[in-house]
Structure 1
Amino acid sequence: MQNIYTADSTVHQRAPWWFNLAGQLLQPWVRIRRDPAEPAALLQAGVPVCYVIERDGFSDALILQRACREAGLPNPMQPLAGTRRKRSVFALVRRDGWLFGRIRKRAPNEPLRQLVHSLEGMPEHDVQIVPVSIYVGRAPSRDSGWFRVLFSENWVMVGRFRRLLALLLNGRDTVVHFSAPVSLRSVLGESGEIAPERFARKIARVLRTHFQRIRAAVIGPDLSHRRTVVDAVLNAEPVRAAIAASAAKEKISHAKAWRKANKLVLEIAADYSHPVVRSVSFLLSNFWNKLYDGIAMHHFDKARAAAPGYEVVYVPSHRSHADYLLLSYQLHVSGVVVPHIAAGVNLNLPVIGPILRRGGAFFLRRSFKGNALYPVVFNEYLAQLIDRGVPIEYFIEGGRSRTGRLLTPRAGMLVMTIRAFLRAPRRPVLFQPVYIGYEKLMEGKSYAGELSGQPKEKESLLGLLRGLKVLRQRYGHVALNFGEPIELNPLLDAASADWRAATADPDAKPEWLNSVVDRLAGQIQVNINRAADVNPINLLALALLATPKHAMAERDLLAQLELSKTLLEELPYSDRITLTPMNPAGIIAYGEQMGWIRRVQHPLGDVLVADDEQAVLLSYFRNNVLHLTATAAWVACCFLNNRRMSRASVLRLGRIIYPFIQGELFLPWDEDGFGAQLQATIDFFVRRGLLESAGDGRVLERAPGQDDSAFQLKVIARSLIQAFERYYITIAALVKNGPHTMTGAELENACTLTAQRLSLLNELSAPEFFDKALFRGFIQKLRERRVVWTDEAGKLDYDSALEIMVRDARVILSREVRHSILKITPGGEKEPAATNEVGVTIAGSRDTVQPAEDASGTELHQRHVDAEHHRHAHVDAVTADDGSATTPRE
């Protein structure tokens, strides 16, 4: 007992000579990585050790002996002290025969009974059982041959010949996982009076479950046999009831209805294959090397630490077809189980579809309408995956973003996920948002074409082959940033204290379900944006697209890039934002290298230009990070057409406009939080000299228009000005046409046509300016805030607050832009009566003072307070760029 932790030659010589010789022959082919690296720290000194391995095998015994020797652990081939066992190891599964022997899954009752008998009558003795998992070739490395992945570790119990090939091909990627030891004496004491045979069976079951859990964590759940999932779906009570209902409704036989259901579930179900996943992983490593300069993951360790014990649902942003493969590939090579991915049935193409299906993709139709059986089958399939603990991935935006912004969530998959959890809440659900950021998109040109009115090209194998030409280009770096995870249970607790009562009826739809789904969907989008990656192309797009010709002197561009980086560093949006480490000069050089910008040399200083086609594509990357500069852009917008403005007015107008910006950009603050962020941004601008503060900080003033600081403010402002122009188009169209004259669809169409025409006349380079979805989202937000509603005839009516928004727009939008919009917008001929933000009706070229009618007494009172405050301060509240006063002045 004294030498049980030594690994000297006398101990290891107890193994047969031929066993030691085989170990020496195998040694050059096997490289072992222990997990943990120092397993000796797990053991209790002075207590005999008995190892348990999952499968009986000569090679596994050799690997175990070597791992123990290198770690300074007891030799598994020596007799177990205090017992009659000749070896200190046994296996859960045994084989018969030699080279091609038959596998026998026999429980290790005899070894366990021997161990139990050895403790009888000797209460001071104990044995610590150490489960050891051995994996040969869990994941191929980049320099592995494709043939090796066929013999990598999986759930199949292979024969000795196949195991030998696996060792020869993948032995240098061998993992030996030592689990924490289990005191046999303690377990026996907890079991009470129980027969040794029954106790042995109990311990065997516990060990089998343990090994299955470890294997699932390392190589993924055992879903290799799709038939088991398909059968479970078809035998579920909701599906059986739907089959019977379908047979009765369509007046067909039950067998025919069952075949229809079986066909549907086969259309949906993944056919997960570990060898295929490893094969594709190997092929993708070379593909990514040709396509990208690097793939970075940030905050992944936090995501991995949060996942144990949860059903994980990955909810990434969706910007490219590469999203599917990138996330799965990075998770796989990082040692995390590849999720099952919900993919559109349009991707179930010949050749490609079967590969995606074996990689974990399950397919869903774009619409569930017209087939009563389909939604029941799909819901049950998703419920089966969640019930089995399979990680899932889907895109709540419903499709790829064509603009670079996050799209309004579609809640269908979230509803199905929550209802599946409510049906069987065995494991809590964790939603893991992921931001995926690119520096160049393979689909960029097609996105620009679709936004300009071209029809979306249908996915096809021929189209995929034609698209292979994109492989000739380089697409820079890719970032996968893992956002703050969201637990489902706290959301349910907040919605209803007795939500668990809903689990009794699987068909129930609680009244609080919609509110939970909406809140969850919004929080996912917010957390994705809070994990954004700011790359060099994002910063270049923010700067260059703010100029009329998308050109900027090199000196000005350097200064603007430095300002943007400093703003993001000093006023961090969240602790998960990542920012390029490149300095401004490096960013410009990188943009030239990537082909996004070109340099025009000039004796007075070089100019950097984004050509027209590149400028259109760059708008996508500007939109990726618009939310990060939203507060700065709002403050800057207030000084586009005004030299001087009160701090209170900037904050007040910001609170009015914030709900609409928040809905479009998924900003994380409430109104008070946004106000605090505005205050911090104003202070930053004052420190940088972009604004001057007067009147004890109550009044803000910018430099004249030709000053460098005024130019920098204008560049920041123009990143958000198009959003305000869209808002003005919408509310001006409503006010111009009057109440009870337009339906929601008619308004949406009128806004889109107006924006398209304005874009043509002004050569705007951002096709998302007239994206119908953005107008639809703004109109919906107006409905939510009861500024706009539908009357009994289906026409839109509105509150007087809408006219006030038109008046307030004068502070932000220039007279030229407003007149252009009003001239183009279909409807009446005259501009609605408008006032500025402190109640001044504007007539002709000069401003006259006149109190404004206001729907809100509080708002009107605030305006009078502001005006009185400014009169006491003897300063202007707002001064136009031409020097004319636009507010009361003492």
Structure 2
Amino acid sequence: MPMPNMMTADSPARSRTPWWFRVGGQLLEPWVRIRREPAEPTSLLQAGTPVCYVIERDGFSDMQILERACREAGLPSPMQPLAGTRRRRSVFALAHRDGRLLGRNRHRSPNEPLGQLTRALEADPERDIQIVPVSIYVGRAPTRESGWFSVLFSENWVVVGRFRRLLALLLNGRDTVVQFSAPVSMRAVLNEGGDVRPERFARKIARVLRTHFRRIRAAVIGPDLSHKRTVVDAVLNAEPVRAAIAATAAKEKISQAKAWRRAQKIMLEIAADYSHPVVRSASLLLSNFWNKLYDGITMHHFDKARAAAPGHEVIYVPSHRSHADYLLMSYQLHMSGVVVPHIAAGVNLNLPVIGPILRRGGAFFLRRTFKGNALYSVIFNEYVAQLIDRGVPMEYFIEGGRSRTGRLLAPRAGMLVMTVRAFLRAPRRPVLFQPVYIGYEKLMEGKSYAGELSGKPKEKESLLGLLKGLKVLRQRYGHVALNFGEPIELNPLLDAISPDWRKSVDDPETKPEWINGVVDKLAEQIHININRAADVNPINLLALALLSTPKHAMAENDLLAQLELMKALLEELPYSDRITLTSLAPAAIIAYGEQMGWIRRIAHPLGDVLTADDEQAVLLSYFRNNVLHLVATAAWVSCCFLNNRRMTRNSILRLGKIIYPFIQGELFLPWDEDGFAAQLQATIDFFVRRGLLETTSDGRVLERGPGQDDAAFQLKTIARSLIQAFERYYIAIAALAKHGPHAISAAELEKACTLAAQRLSLLNELSAPEFFDKALFRGFIQKLRERRVVWTDDDGKLDYNSALEDMVRDARVILAREMRHSILKITGGDDKESPRAAAVPNDPVAPPAAPDISPTDIGAELHERHVESEQQEHAADATDKR
């Protein structure tokens, strides 16, 4: 059905436009290139209803741009009369200029055109008019080809004069954005208003439109923060900060003025000094920088993130793997038409020259610890609250620091607590957390990470170190992917944990008892959603395959088959709908790995071998760990067949449920225990379809092929991607059993495990530095305590019952004998007899209440599985028990 008022460039309606307007359009056309959002705005309009456009600011150039954008999109012309009214144009502006060429801007009320439209609707109850707000931005994001001078005339919050607007068009007109919003039915709004007088109704509509344009402008170019000084003054004048200043003066016996100056100094150390020109200038620099460094930067699911953001206070929470993370995020958001967020950065980055630039790009700085400085803590909390209250998008890394292992680090909840409390203080705008997975193919900091995990001290950031680091520009770092995960809204989370949370708004100074539960759940869900948006690149797949072999080498045919299997697994059993997978075929993946220098080819008459040298293997472990969570279920099923030819399906599922809480805590997996069991079932069925496992006894018993066949080799390769996690678990429980109950604290056990893992790594030439990462041991010990496998006595020492020792003995179901003996030799444990002996019945400390799956269940299940395995293996050929 044709749209009313639709017209072409040569239609009579267009010919009614003044000659000087048409001439101006012809003069302006070569200087302006328009990008419409959405690209096809006709889909927004309701057929058969007259259209009236409303723009934010009046001006000859804005009218020309609107008219051309409508013409190119096939929309009704704004220059034609509005049907059913006395208006000669189908457009009006919220703000008008006066008639003087160089005069100041003054705002005329838009009530007059709105009043005309309202009276026209009252005169004819059957008529309707759709109001279409149109936002016009000239030079919002200068491109790499733009000059430095053009940055000064790009779009901002200042209402500029005619001469400045002309310069902006000449310099930045080729980057003009025209954003059409969804139309508003005036008839529907008028009916909702009841008997409101036309004048009052017009004022109400104008107010709504101004709010709409402010929100759109804030989303596109950022909120109007005015000057840094206004934020500083607002924080220092806030009641909590004034009270903290008074308390500091009284406690340290100094004058109020001196305490205030100290607070001001702290505030100036923290606060960002956001500058639109600096952000646009930095985008020009970074365009060249990224082109020298990377082969491409891609974003996935950004359209979903953009659609969810309007009306929310957006908090970006990316994974943290490199110093490039925040630059990449800010650059990509800016180039995609979204305001750059304020970023929480460590004060160690507040370096000479670099610090002021980062500050003007939106960085605000925080110290590593707030302990012992109550004034600093109050000021920083108030600053975060001010940002949220002003609608400023923020970005911070809840891991606290960059991951040195490639895994997500255990979350640190400091910034989350501040965000939640700031929202509770003034819950005007709902908060939305946007997880982002950042995936690399090579890291600038890779070698330093490996050195730090091996015991070398972390190098302190300095300007000299930064200059030395410029040598990274000589290398290429492949592609980078920014995957936007499922957003998390704070309000539903609060409703689920504490339905009466709104009562806490009445007393913002009180910390609700339930807030820790909310923050813990929020932090866990952020990590889960980051992992659910992982990007699987060619280097991830090569690392998964090659690092699962003893010498990090594979025959080319075997590597091709393994890569094909891994891609099929990820495609047929998708971890989530936001996972992205390389489109390269296995042969192309190998060629790409050679090109990037990760692997090298060794020619041989019987077939080429692909290998990763020792140093490269250590660095590749980082990229394997990025995506280890995606193959966790496949790795567990495969681990069950490392030392067993046959297992029942039920045994795999039962053991999987028992081990799952520990794997889940380490890899931030998304399922509950039943969901994990369902994923295991699907994985088993996949292996059966692929011929890696066979079923007998009506599908109840599963069997792999003999140790030397290809299917067994592929299973072992998958299993070894996760086997080191179980070896670490075994180190922890063996070390605890060796010391006995009431003999060692959690911190002492963590240290003992780290030393044992380091020694085991040296003896077995393990290439994964995270094998002896103390943070992973700390997480496992904490999970043991949460599951009541171990507990702390009155003296702060760890206690346990005999079930833990059963776990030590029965780990032979999964771990090879040689590895178990090596671990027990290093830890001093005994593979046959428990050092606890008969102490358990007389233990004066009773264990806490057991969870749904008790430690006794673990031991009994493992023992049952071991007996079942031995019975089955007696019937198998001894040479196949590998």
Q: Same fold, TM exceeding 0.5?
A: yes
Q: Which amino acid aligns with 1:158?
A: V
Q: Which amino acid aligns with 1:833?
A: E
Flag the 1:763–1:211 CA change in 2: closer, same or farther, 3 A: same
Matches within 5 A, 1:242-641: 242-641=244-643
Q: Which amino acid aligns with 1:589?
A: A
Structure 1 stretch displaced more, 436-445 or 279-288: 279-288
Tell whether the 8 Å contact from 1:752 to 1:775 is kept in structure 2 after alignment.
yes
Structure 1 stretch displaced more, 701-710 or 798-807: 701-710
Flag the 1:429–1:128 CA change in 2: closer, same or farther, 3 A: closer
Q: Which amino acid aligns with 1:686?
A: V
Once the two structures are TM-superposed, the CA of residue 281 in structure 1 deviates from its matched residue by 1.9
Flag the 1:585–1:180 CA change in 2: closer, same or farther, 3 A: closer
Flag the 1:764–1:182 CA change in 2: closer, same or farther, 3 A: closer
Corresponding position of 2:807: 805
Q: Distance in 2 between matches of 1:701 and 1:190?
A: 69
Flag the 1:697–1:152 CA change in 2: closer, same or farther, 3 A: same
Q: What are structure 1's unaligned runs of at least 5 residues?
A: 836-853
Tell whether the 8 Å contact from 1:281 to 1:329 is kept in structure 2 after alignment.
yes
Give the alignment's TM-score, normalised by structure 2: 0.90
What percent of counterpart residues are identical?
A: 81
Q: Which amino acid aligns with 1:588?
A: I
> Alpha-carbon deviations, 1:498-544, whole Å to 9, x = none?
11111111122222211221111111111111211111111111111
Flag the 1:345–1:878 CA change in 2: closer, same or farther, 3 A: farther
Q: Which amino acid aligns with 2:656?
A: G
Q: Distance in 1 between matches of 2:4 and 2:682?
A: 68
Structure 1 stretch displaced more, 56-65 or 813-822: 56-65
Q: Does 1:677 align with 2:679?
A: yes
Q: Distance in 2 between matches of 1:50 and 1:629?
A: 55
Flag the 1:626–1:32 CA change in 2: closer, same or farther, 3 A: closer
Matches within 5 A, 1:695-734: 695-734=697-736
Secondary structure at the aligned position of 1:175 is classed as: strand
Secondary structure at the aligned position of 1:103 is classed as: coil
Q: Which amino acid aligns with 2:833?
A: A
Tell whether the 8 Å contact from 1:645 to 1:878 is kept in structure 2 after alignment.
no
Once the two structures are TM-superposed, the CA of residue 41 in structure 1 deviates from its matched residue by 6.7
Once the two structures are TM-superposed, the CA of residue 865 in structure 1 deviates from its matched residue by 7.8
Q: Distance in 2 between matches of 1:288 and 1:793?
A: 55
Flag the 1:9–1:361 CA change in 2: closer, same or farther, 3 A: same
Tell whether the 8 Å contact from 1:740 to 1:796 is kept in structure 2 after alignment.
yes
> Alpha-carbon deviations, 1:277-305, whole Å to 9, x = none?
22222222222222111122222222222
Question: RMSD value over aligned CA atoms?
Answer: 3.2
Once the two structures are TM-superposed, the CA of residue 555 in structure 1 deviates from its matched residue by 1.7
Structure 1 stretch displaced more, 121-130 or 260-269: 121-130
Q: Does 1:876 align with 2:872?
A: yes
Corresponding position of 1:216: 218
Tell whether the 8 Å contact from 1:644 to 1:880 is kept in structure 2 after alignment.
no
Q: What are structure 2's unaligned runs of at least 5 residues?
A: 836-852
Q: Distance in 2 between matches of 1:521 and 1:67?
A: 44
Q: Which amino acid aligns with 2:728?
A: R
Q: Which amino acid aligns with 2:428?
A: R
Once the two structures are TM-superposed, the CA of residue 881 in structure 1 deviates from its matched residue by 8.3
Once the two structures are TM-superposed, the CA of residue 664 in structure 1 deviates from its matched residue by 0.8
> Alpha-carbon deviations, 1:821-847, whole Å to 9, x = none?
22222x56x445279xxxxxxxxxxxx
Once the two structures are TM-superposed, the CA of residue 306 in structure 1 deviates from its matched residue by 2.5
Q: Distance in 2 between matches of 1:478 and 1:22?
A: 44
Once the two structures are TM-superposed, the CA of residue 382 in structure 1 deviates from its matched residue by 1.3
Q: Which amino acid aligns with 1:664?
A: E
Tell whether the 8 Å contact from 1:224 to 1:274 is kept in structure 2 after alignment.
no
Corresponding position of 2:833: 833
> Alpha-carbon deviations, 1:242-271, whole Å to 9, x = none?
222222222233333233222222222222
Tell whether the 8 Å contact from 1:640 to 1:714 is kept in structure 2 after alignment.
yes
Secondary structure at the aligned position of 1:876 is classed as: helix
Once the two structures are TM-superposed, the CA of residue 318 in structure 1 deviates from its matched residue by 0.7
Structure 1 stretch displaced more, 680-689 or 276-285: 680-689
Q: Distance in 2 between matches of 1:364 and 1:336?
A: 25
> Alpha-carbon deviations, 1:571-621, whole Å to 9, x = none?
222222222121211111111010001111111111111111101101111
Q: Distance in 1 between matches of 2:129 and 2:872?
A: 86
Secondary structure at the aligned position of 2:722 is classed as: helix
Once the two structures are TM-superposed, the CA of residue 132 in structure 1 deviates from its matched residue by 3.3
Structure 1 stretch displaced more, 399-408 or 121-130: 121-130
Once the two structures are TM-superposed, the CA of residue 129 in structure 1 deviates from its matched residue by 5.1
Tell whether the 8 Å contact from 2:810 to 2:859 is kept in structure 1 after alignment.
no
> Alpha-carbon deviations, 1:459-480, whole Å to 9, x = none?
1111111111111111111111
Q: Distance in 2 between matches of 1:280 and 1:86?
A: 45
Structure 1 stretch displaced more, 197-206 or 299-308: 197-206
Q: Distance in 2 between matches of 1:83 and 1:629?
A: 65
Q: Distance in 1 between matches of 2:615 and 2:13?
A: 75
Q: Which amino acid aligns with 1:391?
A: P
Once the two structures are TM-superposed, the CA of residue 336 in structure 1 deviates from its matched residue by 2.2
Q: Distance in 2 between matches of 1:247 and 1:759?
A: 54
Flag the 1:287–1:306 CA change in 2: closer, same or farther, 3 A: same
Secondary structure at the aligned position of 1:432 is classed as: strand
Secondary structure at the aligned position of 1:400 is classed as: coil
Corresponding position of 1:21: 23
Secondary structure at the aligned position of 2:645 is classed as: strand
Matches within 5 A, 1:788-799: 788-799=790-801
Task: Return the match for 1:823 from 810, 822, 825.
Answer: 825
Once the two structures are TM-superposed, the CA of residue 707 in structure 1 deviates from its matched residue by 2.5
> Alpha-carbon deviations, 1:453-497, whole Å to 9, x = none?
111111111111111111111111111112222222222122122
Tell whether the 8 Å contact from 1:438 to 1:476 is kept in structure 2 after alignment.
yes
Flag the 1:356–1:683 CA change in 2: closer, same or farther, 3 A: same
Once the two structures are TM-superposed, the CA of residue 317 in structure 1 deviates from its matched residue by 0.9
Secondary structure at the aligned position of 1:719 is classed as: coil
Q: Which amino acid aligns with 1:817?
A: M
> Alpha-carbon deviations, 1:39-79, whole Å to 9, x = none?
56766788876544322323223333444455566655567
Task: Return the match for 1:234 from 233, 236, 240.
Answer: 236
Tell whether the 8 Å contact from 1:643 to 1:881 is kept in structure 2 after alignment.
no
Aligned residue pairs total: 862
Q: Which amino acid aligns with 2:286?
A: L
Once the two structures are TM-superposed, the CA of residue 735 in structure 1 deviates from its matched residue by 0.7
Q: Distance in 2 between matches of 1:455 and 1:254?
A: 42
> Alpha-carbon deviations, 1:399-454, whole Å to 9, x = none?
11000111111111111111111112222222221111111111000000000111
Flag the 1:190–1:611 CA change in 2: closer, same or farther, 3 A: closer
Q: Which amino acid aligns with 2:805?
A: E
Secondary structure at the aligned position of 2:420 is classed as: helix
Once the two structures are TM-superposed, the CA of residue 687 in structure 1 deviates from its matched residue by 3.0
Secondary structure at the aligned position of 1:474 is classed as: coil
Flag the 1:314–1:71 CA change in 2: closer, same or farther, 3 A: closer
Flag the 1:867–1:543 CA change in 2: closer, same or farther, 3 A: closer
Once the two structures are TM-superposed, the CA of residue 85 in structure 1 deviates from its matched residue by 6.5
Flag the 1:555–1:239 CA change in 2: closer, same or farther, 3 A: same
Tell whether the 8 Å contact from 2:810 to 2:863 is kept in structure 1 after alignment.
no
Corresponding position of 1:767: 769
Once the two structures are TM-superposed, the CA of residue 361 in structure 1 deviates from its matched residue by 1.6
Q: Distance in 2 between matches of 1:785 and 1:68?
A: 64
Q: Does 1:149 align with 2:145?
A: no
Corresponding position of 1:838: none
Tell whether the 8 Å contact from 2:153 to 2:168 is kept in structure 1 after alignment.
yes
Q: Distance in 2 between matches of 1:193 and 1:181?
A: 23
